[in-house]
Amino acid sequence: MPNDHITPRIARWVCLALIVLALPRIARSSDGTGTVAFLTSGAMPSGLVERVQIHLGLNLGISIRPVASPNEPVHEFDAAAEAWTKLRVPRDHCLIALVTPATATNLRGRVYFNESVGILNVQHLATIKPHIKDLSIEEHIVRRVEKEAMRAVGLLLGMQACPSVRCAMRTPAGASELDNKGRNYCPPCWAQSMRITGVDLQERNRRMFEGNGIAPDQKKSPR
Protein backbone atom coordinates (compact mmCIF):
# COMPACT_ATOMS: atom_id res chain seq x y z
CA MET A 1 0.00 0.00 0.00
CA PRO A 2 1.38 3.49 -0.90
CA ASN A 3 0.24 4.86 2.47
CA ASP A 4 2.63 2.49 4.24
CA HIS A 5 5.51 4.42 2.65
CA ILE A 6 4.00 7.87 3.06
CA THR A 7 3.22 7.62 6.78
CA PRO A 8 6.84 7.09 7.97
CA ARG A 9 7.98 9.88 5.66
CA ILE A 10 5.39 12.28 7.12
CA ALA A 11 6.40 11.20 10.62
CA ARG A 12 10.05 11.98 9.81
CA TRP A 13 9.13 15.47 8.56
CA VAL A 14 6.98 16.12 11.62
CA CYS A 15 9.88 15.07 13.88
CA LEU A 16 12.29 17.29 11.96
CA ALA A 17 9.90 20.25 12.18
CA LEU A 18 9.49 19.74 15.94
CA ILE A 19 13.26 19.66 16.44
CA VAL A 20 13.73 22.86 14.43
CA LEU A 21 10.97 24.60 16.39
CA ALA A 22 12.46 23.45 19.70
CA LEU A 23 16.06 24.49 18.90
CA PRO A 24 15.86 28.04 20.32
CA ARG A 25 14.39 26.67 23.58
CA ILE A 26 17.06 23.95 23.79
CA ALA A 27 19.81 26.49 23.11
CA ARG A 28 18.41 28.89 25.72
CA SER A 29 18.18 26.23 28.37
CA SER A 30 21.68 24.87 27.65
CA ASP A 31 23.24 27.37 30.07
CA GLY A 32 20.23 27.43 32.36
CA THR A 33 18.96 30.96 32.14
CA GLY A 34 19.91 32.46 28.80
CA THR A 35 22.03 35.56 28.27
CA VAL A 36 21.78 39.25 27.54
CA ALA A 37 23.73 40.36 24.46
CA PHE A 38 25.64 43.56 25.14
CA LEU A 39 27.33 45.95 22.71
CA THR A 40 28.72 49.46 22.61
CA SER A 41 29.00 51.93 19.76
CA GLY A 42 30.98 55.17 19.87
CA ALA A 43 33.23 56.63 22.57
CA MET A 44 32.41 55.70 26.17
CA PRO A 45 33.57 57.21 29.48
CA SER A 46 36.46 55.26 31.00
CA GLY A 47 35.39 52.19 33.00
CA LEU A 48 31.67 52.65 32.27
CA VAL A 49 31.18 49.66 29.99
CA GLU A 50 32.74 47.12 32.34
CA ARG A 51 30.82 48.45 35.36
CA VAL A 52 27.46 48.35 33.57
CA GLN A 53 28.18 44.85 32.27
CA ILE A 54 29.03 43.58 35.76
CA HIS A 55 26.05 45.37 37.29
CA LEU A 56 23.64 43.72 34.87
CA GLY A 57 25.16 40.28 35.33
CA LEU A 58 25.16 40.43 39.11
CA ASN A 59 21.70 41.85 39.56
CA LEU A 60 19.92 39.86 36.88
CA GLY A 61 21.79 36.69 37.85
CA ILE A 62 22.44 35.80 34.21
CA SER A 63 25.46 35.94 31.90
CA ILE A 64 26.09 39.03 29.84
CA ARG A 65 27.33 38.15 26.35
CA PRO A 66 29.56 40.87 24.86
CA VAL A 67 29.04 41.42 21.14
CA ALA A 68 31.75 43.05 18.98
CA SER A 69 31.07 46.74 18.36
CA PRO A 70 29.67 47.42 14.90
CA ASN A 71 31.98 49.30 12.53
CA GLU A 72 29.30 51.73 11.41
CA PRO A 73 28.63 54.72 13.72
CA VAL A 74 25.02 55.22 14.84
CA HIS A 75 23.11 58.06 13.21
CA GLU A 76 19.60 56.86 13.83
CA PHE A 77 18.36 54.48 16.55
CA ASP A 78 15.58 52.79 14.54
CA ALA A 79 18.01 51.63 11.83
CA ALA A 80 20.54 50.49 14.43
CA ALA A 81 17.93 48.40 16.28
CA GLU A 82 16.87 46.74 13.05
CA ALA A 83 20.50 45.89 12.17
CA TRP A 84 21.47 44.74 15.66
CA THR A 85 18.55 42.39 16.20
CA LYS A 86 20.42 40.07 13.78
CA LEU A 87 23.34 39.91 16.27
CA ARG A 88 21.15 38.15 18.81
CA VAL A 89 21.46 34.39 19.22
CA PRO A 90 18.64 32.13 20.43
CA ARG A 91 19.84 32.04 24.04
CA ASP A 92 19.78 35.87 24.27
CA HIS A 93 16.75 37.26 26.07
CA CYS A 94 17.52 40.61 24.46
CA LEU A 95 20.32 42.88 23.27
CA ILE A 96 21.32 46.02 25.19
CA ALA A 97 23.41 48.64 23.39
CA LEU A 98 25.25 51.58 24.96
CA VAL A 99 25.61 54.23 22.30
CA THR A 100 27.32 57.54 21.72
CA PRO A 101 25.64 58.42 18.44
CA ALA A 102 27.52 60.09 15.60
CA THR A 103 24.54 62.39 15.21
CA ALA A 104 23.67 63.95 18.59
CA THR A 105 20.09 63.51 19.79
CA ASN A 106 18.18 64.31 22.97
CA LEU A 107 16.65 60.82 22.92
CA ARG A 108 17.63 59.22 26.26
CA GLY A 109 17.19 55.77 24.77
CA ARG A 110 14.55 53.53 23.25
CA VAL A 111 13.26 50.01 23.72
CA TYR A 112 12.38 48.07 20.57
CA PHE A 113 10.05 45.26 21.55
CA ASN A 114 9.76 43.60 18.14
CA GLU A 115 13.56 43.50 17.79
CA SER A 116 14.23 42.72 21.50
CA VAL A 117 16.78 45.52 21.44
CA GLY A 118 17.28 48.32 23.97
CA ILE A 119 19.46 51.30 23.05
CA LEU A 120 20.74 53.76 25.67
CA ASN A 121 22.16 57.12 24.64
CA VAL A 122 25.18 57.49 26.93
CA GLN A 123 26.09 60.84 25.36
CA HIS A 124 22.70 62.27 26.39
CA LEU A 125 22.72 60.67 29.86
CA ALA A 126 26.12 62.32 30.41
CA THR A 127 24.83 65.83 29.69
CA ILE A 128 22.05 65.85 32.34
CA LYS A 129 22.71 68.11 35.32
CA PRO A 130 23.67 66.04 38.42
CA HIS A 131 21.09 65.84 41.23
CA ILE A 132 22.95 63.96 43.98
CA LYS A 133 25.14 66.07 46.22
CA ASP A 134 28.65 64.77 46.88
CA LEU A 135 28.52 62.35 43.92
CA SER A 136 30.87 62.97 41.01
CA ILE A 137 29.52 63.53 37.53
CA GLU A 138 31.36 60.37 36.42
CA GLU A 139 29.51 58.34 39.06
CA HIS A 140 26.19 59.98 38.08
CA ILE A 141 26.71 58.86 34.48
CA VAL A 142 27.61 55.25 35.34
CA ARG A 143 24.64 54.90 37.69
CA ARG A 144 22.20 56.40 35.18
CA VAL A 145 23.31 53.91 32.54
CA GLU A 146 23.10 51.02 35.03
CA LYS A 147 19.55 52.02 36.02
CA GLU A 148 18.28 52.51 32.49
CA ALA A 149 19.96 49.30 31.30
CA MET A 150 18.20 47.37 34.09
CA ARG A 151 14.89 49.01 33.08
CA ALA A 152 15.42 48.25 29.38
CA VAL A 153 16.15 44.58 30.13
CA GLY A 154 13.09 44.38 32.40
CA LEU A 155 10.80 45.86 29.75
CA LEU A 156 12.20 43.48 27.13
CA LEU A 157 11.62 40.55 29.51
CA GLY A 158 7.95 41.60 29.58
CA MET A 159 7.92 43.41 32.93
CA GLN A 160 5.87 46.55 33.56
CA ALA A 161 6.92 49.96 34.87
CA CYS A 162 7.05 49.97 38.69
CA PRO A 163 5.55 52.72 40.90
CA SER A 164 8.28 52.39 43.56
CA VAL A 165 10.57 55.45 43.51
CA ARG A 166 13.50 53.24 44.54
CA CYS A 167 13.04 50.59 41.83
CA ALA A 168 15.07 50.55 38.61
CA MET A 169 11.83 49.59 36.80
CA ARG A 170 10.29 53.00 37.58
CA THR A 171 9.88 55.23 34.54
CA PRO A 172 11.63 58.40 35.77
CA ALA A 173 9.45 61.49 35.41
CA GLY A 174 12.55 63.66 35.04
CA ALA A 175 16.28 63.88 35.58
CA SER A 176 15.92 64.23 39.36
CA GLU A 177 13.88 61.02 39.58
CA LEU A 178 16.41 59.25 37.40
CA ASP A 179 19.27 60.22 39.71
CA ASN A 180 17.28 59.37 42.84
CA LYS A 181 15.81 56.00 41.86
CA GLY A 182 17.56 52.74 42.76
CA ARG A 183 19.94 50.83 40.51
CA ASN A 184 18.28 47.47 41.18
CA TYR A 185 14.80 45.99 41.01
CA CYS A 186 12.57 46.13 44.07
CA PRO A 187 11.84 42.66 45.59
CA PRO A 188 8.56 42.07 43.64
CA CYS A 189 10.16 43.16 40.35
CA TRP A 190 13.23 41.04 41.03
CA ALA A 191 11.06 38.01 41.82
CA GLN A 192 9.24 38.57 38.55
CA SER A 193 12.47 38.80 36.55
CA MET A 194 13.66 35.60 38.21
CA ARG A 195 10.45 33.80 37.22
CA ILE A 196 10.83 34.96 33.61
CA THR A 197 14.52 34.08 33.23
CA GLY A 198 14.41 30.97 35.40
CA VAL A 199 17.28 32.26 37.52
CA ASP A 200 17.93 30.15 40.55
CA LEU A 201 18.24 32.12 43.79
CA GLN A 202 21.31 30.16 44.92
CA GLU A 203 23.03 30.70 41.57
CA ARG A 204 22.33 34.42 41.73
CA ASN A 205 23.68 34.59 45.29
CA ARG A 206 26.77 32.65 44.20
CA ARG A 207 27.43 35.24 41.51
CA MET A 208 26.92 38.06 44.00
CA PHE A 209 29.36 36.35 46.36
CA GLU A 210 31.98 35.93 43.65
CA GLY A 211 31.40 39.54 42.65
CA ASN A 212 31.52 38.94 38.95
CA GLY A 213 28.52 38.79 36.65
CA ILE A 214 30.52 38.22 33.49
CA ALA A 215 30.33 34.91 31.65
CA PRO A 216 33.19 32.57 32.67
CA ASP A 217 34.94 32.83 29.31
CA GLN A 218 34.86 36.63 29.56
CA LYS A 219 36.36 36.83 33.03
CA LYS A 220 39.52 38.82 33.31
CA SER A 221 42.45 37.83 35.43
CA PRO A 222 42.42 39.82 38.67
CA ARG A 223 45.90 41.11 37.87
150 scored as a contact of Zn ion (CB under 5 A): no
Min CB(169)–Zn ion separation in Å: 4
Q: 100 or 193, CB closer to Zn ion?
A: 193
CB of 189 to Zn ion, least distance (A): 3
Angle at 64 between CA 59 and CA 65, to 5 degrees: 175
* CB closer to Zn ion out of 24 and 188: 188
Residue 37 and residue 94: Cα distance in Å, rounded? Answer: 6
User: Is 194 among the residues that bind Zn ion (CB under 5 A)?
Assistant: no
* Minimum CB distance to Zn ion, residue 220 (Å): 32
Closest CA to 190 of 216, 151, 140: 151
What is the closest distance, in whole angstroms, from the C-beta atom of residue 150 to Zn ion in the complex? Answer: 10
Identify which range of 83-91, 143-151, 160-168, 208-216 contacts Zn ion by CB under 5 A.
160-168
Closest listed residue to residue 124, CA positions, set 146, 138, 142, 107: 107
Among 169, 178, 194, 199, binds Zn ion (CB under 5 A): 169
Q: Smallest distance from the beta carbon of 188 to Zn ion, in angstroms?
A: 6
The answer to whether 111 contacts Zn ion (rule: CB under 5 A) is no
Is position 199 an interface residue for Zn ion (rule: CB under 5 A)?
A: no
* Span of 22-30, 85-93, 163-171, 193-201 interacting with Zn ion by CB under 5 A: 163-171
Return the residue of 39, 74, 111, 167 that touches Zn ion, per CB under 5 A: 167
Q: Which of 125/162 has CB closer to Zn ion?
A: 162
Q: Is 186 in the site for Zn ion (CB under 5 A)?
A: yes
Q: Does position 153 bind Zn ion by CB under 5 A?
A: no
Among 52, 56, 74, 189, binds Zn ion (CB under 5 A): 189
- Alpha-carbon distances, residue 39 vs 19, 80, 87, 130, 200 (angstroms): 30, 12, 10, 26, 26
Residues of the shown chain interacting with Zn ion in the complex, contacts defined by CB under 5 A: 162, 164, 167, 169, 186, 189
